[in-house]
Amino acid sequence: MKAMVFAQTKQPLKLEELPEPGLSPGQLLLQVSACGVCRTDLHVIDNELTHPKLPLIPGHEIIGRVKKIGAGVTGFKIDDRVGVPWLAETCGVCKFCKTNRENLCDRAIFTGYTRDGGYATQTVANANFCFHIPDGISDEHAAPLLCAGLIGWRTLKLAGPGKRLGIYGFGAAAHITIQIALSQGREIYGFTRPGDERGQAFARSLGATWAGSSEEKPPELLDAALIFAPVGALIPLALAASDKGATIVSGGIHMSDIPSFPYSALWEERTIKSVANLTRNDALEFFELLKTVKVETTVKTYELEDANTALSDLRAGKLEGAAVLNCKR
């Protein structure tokens, strides 16, 4: 197999030829077709998430075909198309796992962080955390659904049923989440970094009622806000743009420090929440939803060996939608 390997923080990935990964009971060996490039990958490579296994094959938005099936696996057959998300495995016995909150498991293993991921031509994954991918969407367009889509879905659920929804940071997660929110009859207000007219135009093209700078007030107070940009200063800005009883949800795994703000900004039963990972039930709900709600992903495709370029483009804010690696060989 070939893989882009991360060996040292803040250093470029290197293309290496490696042996085919060994297959343990309960696992699937996948021939990787495509792997999304996520901002979480940047957090790992830039040492903002500080405990990766090294050396590491990054990538946790994996689409692949089943090549081999480990002992004890049911529900999959050779050549099935499956997706592999960030949450790779949990203990199954802690209080969180036993109450369908395995996203909070203290002993969780994460794809492309504490287990090798999908910047490769092959990978292994725990079958219990793999999901069948609906037909009708290409591998490249399906890849961002495995994190941007799933985390966006969980973030949207935690925001509650409010009609006027603000979305801060119009990248991969936002461009999927807005389509689902619109299908639910919500009004979307898109916020980008100041001066990002291209991002604001992208938000409007996807159906946003209004789009502007994160420092602006929307024309209507928000019932809820989703924050996908890793910028802590957006929390008080979202509070200031929100109505009484609003819910602010941070969908990122990493965020810069939140600056202090007056209690009056939080008062009147406004709520701040964070999203931690995802549950398997989130994935089952999401992929069932896609059978009735049409979601189109906007992607820019790079070859596997160009992963460093894809990461640089993401870091520089050059992308509309998501970056995806073509891992087919």
The 10s digit of each residue's pLDDT in 180-235 is 999 999 999 999 999 999 999 999 999 999 999 999 999 999 999 999 999 999 99
In a domain, 280, yes or no: no
What stretch of H or E contains 194? none
In a domain, 94, yes or no: yes
Shared domain for 124 and 182, answered yes or no, is no
DSSP 105: -
Shared domain for 260 and 142, answered yes or no, is no
In a domain, 290, yes or no: no
Q: pLDDT (tens digit, 9 = 90+) per residue, 235-292?
A: 999 999 999 999 999 998 999 999 999 999 999 999 999 999 999 999 999 999 999 9
Q: pLDDT (tens digit, 9 = 90+) per residue, 59-74?
A: 999 999 999 999 999 9
Shared domain for 80 and 203, answered yes or no, is no
Quick check: 175 pLDDT over 90? yes
Shared domain for 11 and 138, answered yes or no, is yes
In a domain, 48, yes or no: yes
CATH number for the domain including 180?
A: 3.40.50.720
Please, are residues 161 and 189 in contact by the beta-carbon 8 Å criterion?
A: no
- Chain center to CA of 117: 14
Shared domain for 61 and 127, answered yes or no, is yes
Please, are residues 111 and 118 in contact by the beta-carbon 8 Å criterion?
A: yes
For the chain, the farthest-separated pair of C-alpha atoms sits apart, in whole angstroms, at 59
pLDDT band at 9 (very low <50, low <70, confident <90, very high): confident
Q: pLDDT (tens digit, 9 = 90+) per residue, 91-109?
A: 999 999 999 999 999 999 9
Q: In total, how many domains does the chain have?
A: 2
Shared domain for 15 and 101, answered yes or no, is yes
Shared domain for 67 and 8, answered yes or no, is yes
Shared domain for 165 and 245, answered yes or no, is yes
Dist CA 271 CA 300 (whole Å): 36
In a domain, 26, yes or no: yes
Give me the amino acid identity at 207. G
Shared domain for 87 and 115, answered yes or no, is yes
Shared domain for 199 and 248, answered yes or no, is yes
Which range marks the domain in which residue 315 is found?
2-146+296-326
What stretch of H or E contains 10? none
CATH number for the domain including 64?
A: 3.90.180.10
Handedness of CA 18, 315, 247, 262 (dihedral sign): positive
Shared domain for 161 and 205, answered yes or no, is yes
